[in-house]
Amino acid sequence: MYRAFERHDRSYEGVFWLGVRTTGIFCRPTCRARTPKRENVEFFAAPADALHAGYRPCMKCRPLDHGRKPPPLVEKLLLAVETEPGRRHRDAELLSMGIDPSTARRQFKRYCGMTFQAYHRARRMGLALLDIRKGKTVLDSQLDQGFESGSGFRDAFTRLVGAAPSRAGDVGVLAASWIETPLGPMLALADDRGLHLLDFVDRRGLERALAALQKRLRARALPGKHRYLDQVERELREYFAGTRQAFETPVVLTGSPFQARVWNALLAIPAGATCSYAELAKRIGQPSAVRAVGRANGDNRLSIIVPCHRVIGADGALTGYGGGLARKQKLLDHEKGSDPITRPVPIS
């Protein structure tokens, strides 16, 4: 990753972010600022992780903006946090600044990929972590960062920051890769057992699913290379080009026994075919568990490979899909023999 940063390698955009200890900022891999020494750099799998570690966004490469200039409202909020990180920005405070809270949540989420409150909380917790590392007491850090409750501070700190890397010797590693597809970028996670996750990066709830998977597997997702990541990327290209229908990359179905039965039943639905939730419930021998089957279908984190998009309503209508109904329709049309999806398709 450091070599990729030295080269300003654009292929690593969205794969990792790096924090510079000497400046307290975090950057994207293509940042053109002066390259820091290797010993002064640490890497993160997501911007939120860098915030939790106490880093603020670089003003040069803007690691939160996805190539867009932030709207004036978002700039105002970011400046407010940096000016007074410990201040509580509740709805009343936002209104006093002339900012509509619902507009703030919507615009900030669209720009930064997280709500304003989540960003502010992460920034406060990151600064608290830095304070404690510098020798401040937990109580002093709690008060400085605006936490009124000691128990609330400890709970938030544990939930957001997690265990220090030095205490994670028994934690496994999931290699993570960002894969571009005609229907949008996907995140893939794999280890030597197989592929654990393949999902569209804009899928709602992906961050929670990723955290739950890491906790369940006692593993950390870190940007890296793996033969199964290479394999699934190649097979996805062939799938979208229309030369492949079935995937051969080994997969790991991490879930309850009931979820595993549902997911295995999904794997049995051939390309070009569809199935209703009621039919799926019958196939696993539990015809009355239609709702539970629907929940398990929604919990699938191996998009396209475990084809939850092939499940439709009993009347033939499209139903909920985590990647969005537009993607679901494109996938079904593609599998039924329409033109291969070889170019990027705009997804609303």
User: pLDDT by residue (tens digit) across 163-187?
Assistant: 433 343 445 678 888 888 888 888 8
Architecture per CATH, domain 1-47, reads as 3-Layer(aba) Sandwich (3.40)
At 264, is the pLDDT very low, low, confident or very high (cuts 50, 70, 90)?
A: very high
Question: Is residue 27 flagged as an active site residue?
Answer: yes
What residue spans in the chain does CATH classification 3.40.10.10 cover? 1-47
Q: For residue 161, what pLDDT is reported? A: 43
Mean pLDDT of 74-97: 77
Q: How confident is the model at residue 76 (pLDDT cuts 50, 70, 90)?
A: confident
Q: What is the pLDDT of residues 183-226, one digit of tens each?
A: 888 889 998 899 999 998 878 778 788 888 888 888 777 666 78
| pLDDT score of 239 | 93
Return the DSSP state at 62: -
Question: What is the crossing angle of helices 257-267 and 290-298, to 10°?
Answer: 80
* pLDDT at 260 exceeding the cut of 90: yes
Cβ atoms of residues 253 and 263 within 8 Å: yes
CATH 1.10.10.10 domain position(s) in the chain = 173-335
pLDDT at 89 over 60: yes
Portion of the chain with pLDDT greater than 90, in percent: 22
pLDDT mean over 308-336? 85
Q: Cα dihedral sign for 177, 180, 183, 185? A: positive
Mean pLDDT (the chain) is: 80
Fold of 173-335: Arc Repressor Mutant, subunit A (1.10.10)
Read off the pLDDT band of 314 (50, 70, 90): confident
Burial class (CB in 10 A: 0-12, 13-18, 19+), 137: exposed
Q: List the one residue out of 282, 286, 274, 265 whose CA is nearest residue 321.
A: 274
pLDDT top residue among 255 and 81 = 255
What is the predicted pLDDT for the residue at 101?
Answer: 82
pLDDT at 110 > cutoff 90: no
pLDDT score, position 160 = 45
The pLDDT tens digits of the residues spanning 50-66 come to: 887 778 889 888 888 75
User: What pLDDT band is residue 146 in, cutting at 50, 70 and 90?
Assistant: low
Sign of the alpha-carbon torsion through 33, 220, 161, 254:
positive
Residue from 27, 31, 58, 61 carrying the catalytic annotation: 27
Architecture of domain 64-162: Orthogonal Bundle (1.10)
- Give Cα 60 distance to the centre of its chain: 24
pLDDT at 166: 33
Out of 58, 61, 112, 308, pick the active-site residue: 308
Numbered ranges of CATH 1.10.10.60 in the chain:
64-162
**58 a catalytic residue:** no
CB-hemisphere CA count at 13 Å for 314?
A: 8
